Amino acid sequence: MQYTNLGRTGLSVSRLCLGTMNFGPLTTEPDSYAIMDKALELDINFFDTANVYGWKFGEGVTEQIVGRWFAQGGGRREKVVLATKVYNKMAEWPNGRGLSALHIKQAVEASLRRLKTDYIDLYQMHHVDRSVPWEEIWQAMEQLVQQGKVLYVGSSNFAGWHITQANYIAMQRHFMGLVSEQSLYNLNARMIELEVIPACKALGLGLIPWSPLAGGLLGGALQKAAAGRRANENAQKAVEKNRTKLEAYEAYCKVLGEAPADVALAWLLHNPVVTAPIIGPRTLEQMTGSLRALDLKLSEETLKKLDEIWPGPGGAAPEAYAW
């Protein structure tokens, strides 16, 4: 396994992050345990979850599964860099969601109980909350850090200016602020190259891409369809919308002699701002199949060809749309 520091921190994390969103809804608890055990066996030490995962309102199903796995002992908790999230609605009362100091306090205590741990390595804001001043958010986060309940703070789904604003105010308070941003990023979704990636680079945030295979679109969708493997209706629509690109992409991957999923992950890993793409396996086979990307080095010619097939916004702003 390869490791890197999470942004500007001294925290060492694996170059692949195990996403747990499927644990509960699509993957049984015993199978989830097997996947997490295998991840540790493969030296993947970075696990990502969220209080809302499991999709049973207010229950935190996925966090509970991870917590029961930790409770088996064997150094499981100590070996894992644990990331979870706060923001989404977890209760019916008015303060049951968002980033108010009250909800942050209630949400972190609930996550700690479910996860059966006394600290969270990376506590991520799942979405920006425009209704709450940064002074309130940072005061709440500072208290959690002082109490040892949270070690680092990250963001998810923030715009570039949100990251900049948040860290500017954190700096005024002599607080470390955001150390990572978790964004939608893959060959077919490159909008963050305009401003989010430049903000992360300038301010020392590690980028944690979610949906690195575009919901399976970049994982050999045409090959799977030809083999008779069905996809849901939304996935089928995405394939039809991008069929011309997918035909060119999968044909080029065949020329390279590499699986489309491996090329897509390797493309993310070549970006120095990227810390670790989130792989969200439903099965052991899907997880172990991601490891090839770590050793796959893409040539300049290959990177240029991928840009031709999956064009981005033109680079960073403002040059992408101005002079």
Judge residue 239's burial from the number of C-beta atoms within 10 Å of its C-beta, 0-12 exposed, 13-18 middle, 19 or more buried. middle
Q: If you classify domain 3-215+261-296 with CATH, what class do you get?
A: alpha beta
Q: How much is the pLDDT for 226?
A: 66
pTM more than 0.85: yes
* 20 in Cβ contact with 9 (< 8 Å): no
> Of the listed 3, 33, 53, 119, which one is catalytic?
53
Interior angle at CA 199, CA 196 and CA 205, nearest 5: 95
Strand partners, 227: none
- Any catalytic annotation for residue 53? yes
Structure token digits, residue 8: 């500007």
Strands 12-14, 3-5: parallel, antiparallel or unpaired by DSSP? antiparallel
Residue 112: partners with Cβ closer than 8 Å, 6 or more residues away: 118, 119, 120, 149
Structural domain spans, the chain: 3-215+261-296
Q: How much is the pLDDT for 231?
A: 64
* 49 in Cβ contact with 80 (< 8 Å): no
Q: How much is the pLDDT for 321?
A: 93
CA–CA gap between residue 20 and residue 42 (Å, rounded) = 16
* 85 in Cβ contact with 108 (< 8 Å): no
pLDDT along the chain (323 residues), means of 10: 96 97 95 96 97 93 98 96 96 93 97 98 97 97 98 98 98 97 97 98 98 93 70 79 94 96 97 96 85 94 97 95 92
Residue 214: partners with Cβ closer than 8 Å, 6 or more residues away: 186, 187, 188, 189, 238, 264
Helical H runs in 260-299? 260-269, 284-288, 292-295
CA–CA gap between residue 66 and residue 222 (Å, rounded) = 34
In which residue are the tokens 């575009």 written? 214
CA–CA gap between residue 21 and residue 120 (Å, rounded) = 17
Q: How much is the pLDDT for 257?
A: 95
Strand partners, 151: none
- Reference 102, options 132, 82, 123, 73; nearest CA is 132
Strand partners, 81: 46
